[in-house]
Chains A and B, each alone.
Chain A
Amino acid sequence: MASKTIDPVTLEVIWNRFLSVANEQQDALIRTAFSTIVRESQDLACGMFDTKGRMISQSISGTPGHINAMATSMKHFLAAFPPEKLAPGDVLITNDPWQTAGQINDITITTPIFKNGKMVALFANTCHSADIGGRILSAEAREVFEEGLRIPIMKLFDRGEPNKILMQIVRTNVRQPDEVIGDFYAQTSCNETGGRALLEMMDEFKLDAIDEVSEEIIRRSEAAVRAEIAKLPAGEWSSETWSDGFEEPILIHCTVKVAGEEIFIDFTGSSPQSSRGINVVLNYTHAYASFAIKAAICPDVPHNEGSFRPVHVSAPEGSILNALDPAPVASRQVIGHFIPSAIFAAMAGALPGRLMAPGADPIWLSVWRGQDPSFTLTVFQVGGTGARPTKDGLNAVGFPSGVAGVPAEVIESLSPVVLKRRELRADSGGPGTWRGGLGQLTEFGRRGESKWSVSSIADRTAYAATGLQGGGVGALGEVIVDGKKLHAKALKDLQPSDVVHVNLPGGGGYGDPFKREPEKVLWDVIDGYVTAQDAEKRYGVAVVYKGQAAELVKLPADWFIDAARTEKLRGKR
């Protein structure tokens, strides 16, 4: 089938089929995975590639850092194992941070698919492994070597035979061998599921190869992205975003240049790489930068090789966003997740009414360990997203990460940890015409009488999410034990009776809070998203409850806006 003659209906049909094949792959992965990180939090990505290693389709969920970094990794896989060195039944693996998703816990597994003895496609997925040995996931390391077992690109299966030596080495090096190896198997079998579905559809459409169709998919996607970029005003804008960092704050300096049909994103001026494990490899920087551009200007264009092409990403070697081997990188997400907000902040002026304010940004990660019974539990948590130009931010929803939370009951069924509280954090959303999303208040304790520990990787404990267009800042995050705030990236030994307060940051507001409709402020107070004090102070709206203050049940009918006072408050400015 020549690409010149492929009609739009046939192309649409085949393309949709490619997308559904990747979704079948993802469903199989989630259903067979062992670790809560994959099955509950869905910290994963699945995709299909042509024989040149170009990504053709991705599954519907997943997290941007994985999806796009996995796409880059395929070039490395094919360089190490060109098609002529691959046979049916081969499965490749690596977790090299510089070749894949920038973190040693992220395992990428790739399976070449053959038809009539010829390789026709590759299926790959990247999952966050429950453990990879070394230090427990943290930002503490000073070199990548401390962070765990590094697996160079090699065969996990050779013509269907498991690589027993590698499996033995992994089993010996990790704390939860069943979960880790169980996930390797899930990752392998989901690629097979995808491959089987692809071969069936190739039979049906009488295709011997998919490269020509993929060429056309890439061409059209690239053209669609270029057309969207061409609609943007030409120019160059920059922004500065601060992260708490580890030993010192980290600056992300972002410059976005729109020139014709291409976008250039450069991070010159950002901090140098850190001595601790918060460094970002260029793969990952590229992944989140291209994610941000797609979300900002063309969310409907399918994600594939073509949609990355007009987006160019650079950062100086040895800087925080292009760290060099053997820099420690385990907690690269705490810096990497700032990239979309940094890009939006730079472009907000050029794209009025289209971009959201910065939110809590990095996902928070905590690893809880202890004995009686022995447990290692990884928990992801998120704060609020930034407000949008026509909508409030989302409460306790991750952005840019696509990772989901773990139910308290699942946490407690797997460990003696007791979640004592998980609720929305009043007044944490940045005030604005549109309010930032709220963070959360959570409390962790444990049952039993033995000591335990937490390694927490938090951010925005010193630099709040800023607002856009006059919106206010979101609340800072905090991790508190025994009344004392912990360092944002801390490994802390805990007494049996300790309770750890993990309070997640809120998103920034959008627009002047004094222009928020008073009725909306009233409802925020009724529902406790904003306290009456904050409504008055930050929104200039006086909300009064006419019933008894001590009542537990306060119905909307008993709340009202003190119009005169509101006018006075709002008139003051």
Chain B
Amino acid sequence: MYRVGIDIGGTFTDMLLVGDDGTAVIAKTLTTPGDPSLAVENALRPVLDDGSVNKGERGTLIHGTTLVTNALIERKGALTALLTTSGFRDAVEIAREHRYELYDLNLDLPKPLVPRHLRFDVPERMAADGSVLENLDEVFLRRLVGELRDKGIKAIGVCYLNSFRNPAHEKRTAEIIAEMAPKIRVSLSSEVVAEIREYQRTSTTLANVYVQERVSDYLAQLQGRLDAIGFNGSFFVMLSSGGIATRDTASRFPVRLLESGPAAGALAAAEAGLRSGHRDLLSFDMGGTTAKLCVIDDGQPLKTHEFEVDRVYRFRKGSGLPVRIPVIDMIEIGAGGGSIARVDSLGLLKVGPDSSGADPGPVCYGQGGTQPTVTDADLMLGYLDANYFLGGKMKLDLTGTKKALERLGTPLKMSAEQVAWGIHQIVNENMANAARAHLGERGKDPRRMPMYAFGGAGPVHGYRVAEILRLPALISPFGAGVGSTFGLLSAPLAFDFVRSAYSRMDQLDWSLANRLLDEMAQEGSKVLQSSGLAESEIGYQRTADLRFIGQGHEVSVALPDGVLTSADLPRIAAEFERTYESLYGRKGPDVALEVINWRVVASGPRPDMNLKLPRGATQGGAARKGVRLAFFPETNGYVETAIYDRYALEPGMAFAGPAIVEERESTLIIGAHGKARVDERLNVVVELTDGK
């Protein structure tokens, strides 16, 4: 049985296929935006046709896609209506009544996915304790649903107040819609995200139903293509949480597919860390417009339930549509190869978050870009080779870059070289600052965590970012260009479940808690068994979101196994206190606890990822392929720097910085105080010393 991971990115669709014996095949094809499933076929068909795998053999295909993210950003979803409790159809527009930026008089707020004329009041009301204050007006509802059906509405999101405590009215609404308009897709807030806070819940529910048709059509289309090319096996989709879902679940809860590509990247980092003995890592993925950072904690990426899509203002928190889903906890910073450098009104050099994008791109692309970018600075510093960009497919214009940097440097009284180093430093600082805040919020000390750097620009900047954060080492994987596909294949099958059931812990109905936990475990078991796992292979991770009574933010706490009773309370409270203290650095006040949500993750075993990677033509050739001048501050300027051929590196090789390691899609820069060695899996592991 073989396994295939396919990640559809903005530009490229990447594939990694692994046979029973660990033999791996890598493929990269252009993404086909009109019909993304075509690129999947283009990548997979040749391996099926050329006999790399036996067509009759069963395969498992795991897929990551940005389809949902793009559909939301480009507003290419179905014609959607929203039903809310009477008086609350504007919750999704009133939002937080808040400006995410204090001083900008011209700011815009994110536009709700559903305009006001498609948001409808429905007479009904639940109280905060789940009791019925007003019955659902079914007569009105039938009239409304009839009109929506007759006027061509394709999707309906239902979000009633306090439905996370009692979903009866939402469920009844779904029944009536199913009866009267079976073709309309429906999402209930109590099913998509049964959590308190009506704005966030409505926003999430709408995002889900808005993209449902598109995602389910796409997945059906992809299944059709897979059948046509003779793929014989099961097909799964990666979720934002790093879990894997069946096509059916993905179609029902497409919002959980957001960011599944980046999630796979974080999983790849976690996997590489486990293999090389680093259970704690900082995953660092820097591309053309943004950088993404994620903490890997004890072999697992940290997770959160807060996410924002389509931020309208410089990646600013609060400027996007909130989506509450289990998601790998990543920060995204407006810092990438295309980030533009400029001088601000204070006479200081600023980098990003504006990006030159792919068109016109950096000055050195020679496509008309005039504003110097991070990539231009990297070229000026000798980190990139004008003749070996994308393996030589694209020539870079060093002369144009130098002129642009000189222009920028004039008001700062700095040379082109100095400005280039300034840009490099500042963009690294920006990323390190964001990382530090992210780590701080999670109570993590970076000084124990190596960095796992990938993405086109990740290995170019990783060393310096690691140095600023005082990380001990930098790991640069082989095949960084298809890094996410490793993650797709390394994830166990896993499903996340949540039930909101607010209660003081000292007044908790323990039988209710046990029932909710059991229900979720059973659901998980059912889906996993239908995906071919045996019950004995399934593990359950149970947590509760707890907080001090009245405190605003919850802390997820692992629960003991088995049936819970009040005798478990001291243990749970102790675990809460331990987690709280590690997050906030001090003990909390002497206040009782309350529980907000119960959660279960059901997962299968971790797949074996002992791969035999293809190496290419230069394997066995000279590792050191030449020298060029590159800038290193440790030596106060440009020095002759050794260049290594990534494809010719063998396990056990070691060399010291300054050094440059080139592969087709990226370049690894090693500072003068770095000591590199190549591990068994062809990762280059760079130890950062203090230079003594």
Task: Give me the interface of A with B, judged by CB distance under 8 Å.
Answer: 8-9, 11-13, 15-17, 20, 23-24, 27-28, 30-36, 38-40, 42, 60-64, 178-179, 181-182, 185, 189, 192-193, 196-197, 204, 220-221, 223-224, 227-228, 291, 294-296, 298-303, 355-356, 380-382, 388, 390-391, 394-399, 402-405, 407-410, 412-414, 418, 420-424, 440, 443, 447, 526-529, 551-556
Contact = CB atoms under 8 A, between A and B. Distances in A.
Interface of B is mostly: loop
A382 B95 CA distance: 12
A193 B437 CA distance: 11
Given A39-B552, A178-B591, A298-B345, A423 B97 contact: no
B448 interface: no
B93 A12 contact: no
A553 B102 contact: no
B537 interface: no
A197 B441 CA distance: 12
Contacts of B151: 553, 555
A443 B127 contact: no
B441 A381 contact: no
B440 to A, nearest CB: 5
Contacts of A204: 468, 470
B147 A397 contact: no
Contacts of A9: 349, 421-422, 425-426
Q: Which of A32, A409, A410, A422 has the most CB of B within 10 A?
A: A409
B87 A423 contact: yes
A502 to B, nearest CB: 13
23 contacts: A9-B421, A12-B429, A24-B441, A27-B440, A34-B591, A36-B552, A39-B552, A62-B102, A182-B548, A185-B586, A189-B586, A220-B346, A299-B103, A380-B97, A409-B161, A409-B196, A418-B127, A424-B94, A447-B127, A527-B115, A552-B144, A552-B147, A553-B118
Contacts of A551: 147
Given A381-B97, A424-B90, 8 more contacts: A12-B348, A23-B437, A34-B548, A182-B550, A220-B348, A295-B102, A404-B96, A553-B148
A408 B88 contact: yes
Contacts of B436: 20, 24, 197
Interface string B579-590: 000011110110
Contacts of B115: 527
A395 B120 CA distance: 19
Contacts of B429: 12-13, 16-17
A405 B97 CA distance: 5
A480 to B, nearest CB: 16
A39 B551 contact: yes
B346 A301 contact: yes
Contact of B550 (A179, A298, A391): A179
Interface residues of B, number: 80
A443 B87 contact: yes
A82 to B, nearest CB: 28
Nearest to A15: B348
A221 B350 CA distance: 15
A182 B587 CA distance: 11
B365 interface: no
B347 interface: yes
A28 B548 CA distance: 15
Contacts of A221: 346
A64 B102 contact: yes
A396 B553 CA distance: 25
B128 A409 contact: yes
Nearest to A27: B441
A39 B552 CA distance: 6
Interface of B: 81, 86-91, 93-94, 96-99, 101-109, 115-118, 120, 127-128, 133, 143-144, 147-148, 151, 153, 161-162, 164, 196-199, 344-350, 412, 414, 421-422, 425-426, 429-430, 433-434, 436-437, 440-441, 468, 470, 502, 548-553, 583-586, 588-589, 591
Contact of A227 (B81, B128, B143, B345): B345
Contacts of B198: 407-409
Contact of B102 (A23, A196, A382, A402): A402
B502 A295 contact: no
A508 to B, nearest CB: 14
Contacts of A11: 348
A540 B611 CA distance: 72
Nearest to B79: A555
A517 B429 CA distance: 46
A302 B153 CA distance: 48
A182 B87 CA distance: 34
Contacts of B118: 553
A554 B117 CA distance: 7
Given A24-B441, A34-B548, A422-B91, A8 B144 contact: no
Contacts of B470: 204
Nearest to B440: A24
A32 B551 contact: yes
Contacts of B101: 60
B94 A12 contact: no
Contact of B162 (A182, A302, A412): A412
Contacts of B99: 394, 397-399, 402
Contacts of B94: 395-396, 405, 422-424, 440
A398 B441 CA distance: 27
Contact of A527 (B98, B103, B117, B440): B117
A394 B109 contact: yes
Contact of B344 (A13, A178, A300): A300
Interface centre among B425, B429, B502, B548, by most A CB within 10 Å? B429
Contacts of B550: 34-35, 178-179, 182, 414
A28 B443 CA distance: 10
Contacts of A192: 585-586
Query: Which of A17, A63, A182 neighbours the largest number of chain B CB atoms within 10 Å of its CB?
Result: A182
A289 B434 CA distance: 32
Nearest to B412: A8
Contact of B161 (A228, A382, A408): A408
Contact of A421 (B88, B502, B549): B88
B42 to A, nearest CB: 40
A400 B502 CA distance: 35
Q: Top 3 nearest A-B pairs by Cβ distance? A: A39-B552, A421-B87, A405-B97
Nearest to A192: B585
A23 B133 CA distance: 42
B409 to A, nearest CB: 10
Among B197, B422, B440, find the residue whose CB has the most chain A CB atoms closer than 10 A.
B440
Nearest to A424: B90
B346 A397 contact: no
Given A193-B585, A295-B103, A12 B90 contact: no
A421 B102 contact: no
B345 A300 contact: yes
A298 B345 CA distance: 9
Nearest to A203: B470
Contacts of B437: 20, 23-24, 27
B425 A356 contact: no
Contacts of A291: 102-103
A555 B117 contact: yes
Contact of A420 (B87, B107, B421): B87
Which among A32, A185, A424 has the highest number of chain B CB atoms within 10 Å? A32
Given A301-B346, A407-B196, A527 B116 contact: yes
B478 to A, nearest CB: 32
